[in-house]
Every structure is written in C-alpha cells, then in structure tokens.
Amino acid sequence: MTTEIFLLPAILDRRLRVSPDGPVMIKNNYFTDNSDIQSHFNDMIPWTEIVGSYEGGFRDARTYRENKDEKLASAPGSVEEALDYYRTILESAGDLAGNEISPYVAALDREGLRIEKGLVKFPQKMIELVKTVRDAGLQPYGFSRKYGGLGLPWVVKGILSEIFYRVDGSMAIAIGCVNLAEILEHIASEEMKDEWLPRLTAGEFVCAMGLTEPDFGSDLPNIRTRAEKKSDGSWTLNGTKRFITHGCGFGEIPALILTLARSGSPGSGARGLSFFLVNSSDVQIAGIEHKLGLHCSPTCEIVLENSPGVLVGQEGLGLIRYTMGMLNGARLGIAFQSVGLASEAFYEAQKYASERIQFGRPISGIGAVKKMLRRMESEIAAMRCLIMEGCRAMDLYSWRPEHLKAAGGNEKDIKNDTIIRYWEKLANILTPLCKYYCAEMCLKITSDALQIHGGSGYTEDYDIARLYRDARIVTIYDGTSQIQVGAAIGGIVSGMSPTGNLREYIDCEIDKLSEKSSASELFSVFDRTVAAYRDMSSEKKEEFAEEAVIAAARMISTLLLFRSGDRIRASDREARKSLAQTYFLDSLGICEGNLVRMSRLSAP
Ligand SMILES: Cc1cc2nc3c(=O)[nH]c(=O)nc-3n(C[C@H](O)[C@H](O)[C@H](O)COP(=O)(O)OP(=O)(O)OC[C@H]3O[C@@H](n4cnc5c(N)ncnc54)[C@H](O)[C@@H]3O)c2cc1C
C-alpha cells in the first residue's frame, strides 16, 4: 500500500498534473505544431521576393560552383532550394526547443545564476543545452555564409528566434546573443570582419551590448564612459555600464562587448559617441541583478578600468548610426521574443481551459473565457503579421547595397536607389511599431493567460507564472515602449502627409484586398487620428503620441491580417477571415475611442 491513497483526491489530482520537478511545458516541435507559423511559411510569405532580395541572383551558389568554398556549400541555387534549407533549419530548431530544451526550463529557472569570486556561474544543464544547439549548427543564425553564419533573411531569422523564445527567454538569449554582432558585417572594416566574425560564428565568443549606464538608460546621448586615444593610436575605456546582458560571457566563453563610449569632449552629446569592441576578459563584473524574471540571463554591472577597446567604423557615429542600426534588428528581436512568449502563454491557457472543469464543464466553454482565448488568438495572429512585414521591409533593403556593389555600383548608386529608400523608410517606421505593439500586447496576453489559470496561475505549479514574469521585461529593454513611441511617431506623421510613404503603402495594400471596406473604414479613423495629433499643442502631442502609434499599429496589422486571409490556402480561409474580423472590430473600437478622447481633450 502506498501513501498516495491517503491523499485527498484533489491533492492527488494536482500531483498527477504537476511533476515533482515543477511544471512541464507543452512538448512538441515548436515549428511544426504552430499552425499560424506554418501558414506564414507555406502560404503567406512572398518567398520569391524575399529570397531574390537576400540571394541577389544566387551569387553565393554561383561562387560555390566556381571555387568550391565550403563556407558557401549550403547556398541555395533556387527559391525551392532556399525553402528546403529554411524548412530543415526551422524543423530542427523546433525539435530542439520543443522536445529537447522544454523539459528543463522550469528547473533551470528555479536554479538561476550564482556569482562566485567575481565569476557568474550558470547551471550546468543550461551550458549543455546551449552546446547542443551550437553543435547542431543553429547558433550563428544572424551572420552571412561567408563568415560562417547560416545565411538567412530576416523573416527566417525571426521565426527561428521566436521558436527559441517560446521555450524560454534566458535560453533564447544565451543561444542568440552572439548574433548581435551581425551589425559588424555592415559597419566594420574588411580586416575587422575577417578577424572577428569567423571567431564569433565558431562559438569562441558570445556578444553583449554595452550601452546603459547607472545614470543614463533611455538618455543614451549623455552617457559618460570615456574612451581615450593613446599615442600609439589604440584606445582605452573607463566607466561603468549597468544591465549588460551576458557582459560576463557565457560559462567559459568570453563576450565581445559592443560598447558605446564618449570619444568626444564632455557634453559633446550624441555626436561625441563612438562604438568599440571590448573583450569581457578586460572588464570587471561588479555584480549581477536579482530580477523578477529571466533568472538564467545574467544582467551585469561591468566596470571598465583602462580596458582596451577597438574602435569600430568612424569616430562620432557610435550612437547616431551604428547603435541605431543595431537597434532596428534588436527591436525586431524583442518583437519576436514577445510573440514567442505570448504564443506559449496562449497554448498553456488553451490547454488549461480545456482541462479545468467548473460548473460541470470545461471553462473553455464559458463565454468570458472563450472571449479571452479568442482575443489572444487574434492578437497573436496580428502581431505575427506585423513582425513578418517588419522583417519583409528589412529584407527588401538591407541586403541590396552589397548586391549593388557586387554589380559595380558605387555609394551614390546605393544612396539614390529607390527600392532601398522606400523600404528603409518604411522599416524605420515598422520596427519601433513592431517592438512597441508586440511588447505591449505580450504583457496583456500573458496576463490574460494567467487569469485563465485562476489561482493556479499565481503558483509555480504551472509554466504561466514563469512566462508572466519573463514577459514583463519586453516593454522595457532595448528601448522602453515610450521611447519606441517617440521613434515611430515622426515617421507616422510625415508618412501620412498627402504624398507620404506610409499613406502610399497602406493605400496600395488596401487596394489589393479582396474585401476592402473594413480596412478602409479603419483607415479613415487612423487618418483622422493622425490629423488630430498633428493639430495638438506640443505638450499634448507628448501625451497623445501613443494613441497615434496604437492606431498605426492596429491599422497596419488589420490590413495585413485581411491580406493573410486572401493568401492562406482555401481550407483555412474562412477561419482566418473570421479572426481578421474579430481583430478589426477590436481595433475599430479602440481607435475610435482614442480619437474621441483626443478630439475632446485637444479642443480649445
Ligand atoms: C533584464 C535587463 C536586461 C538589459 N540588457 C541590456 C543590455 O544588454 N545592454 C544595455 O545596454 N542595456 C540593457 N538593459 C537596459 C535597458 O535597455 C534599460 O533599462 C532601458 O533602456 C530603460 O532605461 P532605464 O532603466 O535607465 O530607465 P529610464 O530611462 O530611467 O526610464 C524610466 C521611465 O521613464 C520613461 N522615459 C524616460 N525618458 C523618456 C522620454 N524621453 N520620453 C518618454 N518616456 C521616457 C521610460 O519609458 C521609463 O518608463 C537591460 C535592462 C534589463 C532590466
């Protein structure tokens, strides 16, 4: 006889559901089990356009045929080959995340990090799991093939990072942080790229972003870390950086810290800042933060004391060009983190709601719960449409300069290229919009998912508590939501002028829809919202920029959701259009309400 029979049935029931090691995540292939990602991959992404833009006439495949450079061996020679390649990568990432990593993340979250004699100690299992991903060749997904990377366009990198973020934020960051150094491909000299990029893709370094200081977070133009040039032309850095993720490296692997420091005079503002490479072995780790969530992600305070730094690119362009360049990608990264977290929270809520019986039936059948689940599903679908479009915009301009150069073009040709100009401008609006909107909605969705779990959601018996804690950061780091609003609003207002690019883009996309009336109705509200905003005093503008940004995000997401309904295969069309309609009605209500408030409050 075991002791189990003496337990009350309710306790026994709970013990059957909750493993002694803590909650058990949904185990599955996180690429193939996500029907929305599958629809994007199989039906909705315009692959000919994306692959064409990334591969530029399949240059790498041609070069491989000529010189058999092994680094280019995986280069696709056609759109079909590219899709097979992407699918293989995503299936393998989905399997690793959903089947290999998912069973361990709850225990890792409980174990957390320790600091011993100035060194950050990671759980051994975490180090093993990240190594498994590295050994599978999936880690350097942000780099191009010639430097040892996977050679993926933004849309594929995005799905890949979403898959890892769905399983766990700390793991996804440990796996993906090296890819921050992708920016070096665009801004570093050829010698620097040849020296550093192969070492990064080979796993000799991880990467960290050293921007924030104790007194300067959002206010980056005023940071104080000093960079001094010595007589032999080398640089040393002095100062303190706070909140630097993986500033300590990862286990035995050091970090290359992309560090922003003042090379100009004190008070020189944004134009006095330059960008440096600093080896984490040359800085001191003063401590790590004890945080609400992301318990296995080291958030380090680092002290630079005559630490050697290598100047990247030109002096004075550190913030205004290079950090901003890095942030477009980083913003999309957090948007994917948000969608990954929100998706898992939704799946967990859906599972719980189908199993939890109240009033004699599963709570999934109760109207109020059903409504929450339905809204979560439509919001996630909208978020994913929005970020895939953000990635598309990035894909349509960021690879083109290199292809133009390879075809004999010069700087002037690149500057005047109409395709680059159009999509870059749009990407500069879409990326802060994606970050803002997906992060904010992620908070709402993880909160609703916890609500559906009732009291159990507030315990550590289910994964939702970890997801909820981890989600809280997404509106804060890599630029807070308020900073994203500031980054997006100028482009929205100028883009909505009579000849603006945003107006042209929306007009053109609505025109292609099979059913235009709903999107047109919302467009009219959005147009009036921007007009109301434009007419406000500068004081009121600061207050109401967010409402205009919400309207832009909801407008674009609505039309993309309707567009997805036209592109999806026939068997899924009706369900998709109904989801789009749910989202449209929610958006119309929110935007109309905001417009009324804006009009009344701004009236003289
Ligand atoms: C877990 C974690 C990891 C991080 N990782 C990194 C990293 O790897 N590298 C790195 O460099 N930094 C990192 N950060 C720092 C992060 O990017 C900053 O915390 C963030 O940019 C906000 O800065 P702050 O904390 O100083 O807040 P503050 O700038 O002090 O902001 C406080 C509040 O005021 C608002 N606010 C400030 N200025 C404005 C404005 N002009 N308009 C409107 N509202 C405003 C903000 O939106 C916020 O609500 C990390 C932070 C955390 C918590």
Q: What is the pLDDT of residues 575-595, one digit of tens each?
A: 999 999 999 999 999 999 999
480 CA to centre of ligand 1 in angstroms: 6
Question: In angstroms, how far is the first alpha carbon of the chain from the final one?
Answer: 80
Residue in 476, 489, 541, 549 to alter for ligand 1 test, most ligand atoms within 8 A of Cβ: 476
Atom of ligand 1 nearest to the CA of 245: 8
- State percent of the chain over pLDDT 70: 96
Ligand 1 center to 523 CA (angstroms)? 33
User: Going by CA atoms, what residue is nearest to atom 38 of ligand 1?
Assistant: 218
**Residue 253 DSSP class:** B
Residue 2: per-residue pLDDT: 44
Expressed in angstroms and rounded, the spacing between residue 146 Cα and the centre of ligand 1 is 35
**What torsion do the CA atoms of 214, 220, 222, 225 make, to the nearest 10 degrees?**
60
What are the C-alpha distances in Å from 111 to residues 7, 122, 271, 424, 435? 29, 9, 43, 43, 30
Report pTM.
0.95
For residue 577, CA distances in Å to 374, 506, 563, 569, 584 come to 13, 19, 9, 12, 10
Q: Which tokens hold the place of 339?
A: 């969608």
Q: Which of 170, 288, 295, 480 to mutate to test ligand 1, by most ligand atoms within 8 A of the CB atom? A: 480
> For residue range 415-471, what is the model confidence (pLDDT) as tens digits?
999 999 999 999 999 999 999 999 999 999 999 999 999 999 999 999 999 999 999
Quick one: pLDDT at residue 329?
A: 86
Q: Cα(209) to centroid of ligand 1, in Å?
A: 13
Query: In the beta sheet, which residues pair with residue 213?
Result: 216
Mutate to test the pocket of ligand 1, among 322, 477, 543 (most ligand atoms within 8 A of CB): 477
Average pLDDT over residues 525-542: 95
Task: Determine the Cα–Cα distance for residues 147 and 144; give it in Å rounded to an integer.
Answer: 6
**Cα 156 to Cα 68: distance, rounded to the nearest angstrom:** 25
Ligand 1 centre to CA of 304 (Å) is 21
Q: Which atom of ligand 1 is nearest to the CA of 480?
A: 47
Name the residue among 531, 466, 476, 478 with its Cα closest to residue 500: 531
Alpha carbon distance 279, 258 (integer Å): 9
Give the residue, 439 or 26, on which the prediction is more confident: 439
Averaged confidence pLDDT in the chain: 94
Can you list the positions of beta strands (E) in 72-178? 114-116, 119-121
Distance CA 411, CA 392 (A): 23
pLDDT band at 365 (very low <50, low <70, confident <90, very high): very high
Mean per-residue pLDDT, 157-171: 97
Q: Whose CA is nearest to atom 25 of ligand 1?
A: 217
Among 320-329, 382-391, 426-435, 478-487, the minimum mean pLDDT is found in 320-329
- Distance between Cα 184 and ligand 1 center (Å): 24
Place of tokens 């559906």: 452
Pocket test for ligand 1, best of 212, 300, 337 (most atoms within 8 A of CB): 212
Query: What DSSP element (H or E) covers 340?
Result: helix 324-355
3-state secondary structure of 49: helix
19: pLDDT strictly greater than 80 = no
- Structure token pair of residue 159: 């799905």
Dist. CA 314 → ligand 1 center (Å): 26
Query: Tens digit of pLDDT for each residue in 218-274?
Result: 999 999 999 999 999 999 999 999 999 999 999 999 999 999 999 999 989 999 999
The residue nearest atom 24 of ligand 1, judged by CA position, is 217
pLDDT digits (tens, 9 = 90+) for 211-223: 999 999 999 999 9
Say whether pLDDT at 10 is over 90. no
Position 230, amino acid: K
Measured by CA distance, the residue closest to atom 50 of ligand 1 is 243
pLDDT at 11 over 60: no
Contact 592/532 with Cβ under 8 angstroms? no
What is the per-residue pLDDT for 20? 57
301 C-alpha to ligand 1 centroid (Å): 14
pLDDT at res. 51: 97
Distance 490 CA to ligand 1 centre (A): 21
65: DSSP letter: H
**CA dihedral defined by 554, 556, 561, 566, rounded to 10 degrees?**
150
Contacts of 497 (CB under 8 A, 6+ apart): 503
pLDDT at 389 > cutoff 50? yes
Lining ligand 1 with CB less than 6 A are: 208-212, 217-218, 243-245, 291, 294, 299, 473, 476-480, 482-483, 486
What does DSSP say about strands 299-312 and 235-245: parallel, antiparallel, or unpaired?
A: antiparallel
List pLDDT tens digits, range 458-509. Answer: 999 999 999 999 999 999 999 999 999 999 999 999 999 999 999 999 999 9
The alpha carbon of 479 and the centre of ligand 1 are apart by a number of angstroms equal to 6
Cα(216) to centroid of ligand 1, in Å? Answer: 8
Q: Which pLDDT score, from 0 to 100, does residue 24 have?
A: 77
CB 362 within 8 A of CB 356: yes
The pLDDT-based confidence of 15 (bands split at 50, 70, 90) is very low
Q: Distance (Å, rounded) from C-alpha 415 to C-alpha 307?
A: 37
- Tell me the pLDDT band of 601, cut-offs 50, 70 and 90: confident
pLDDT of residue 113: 97
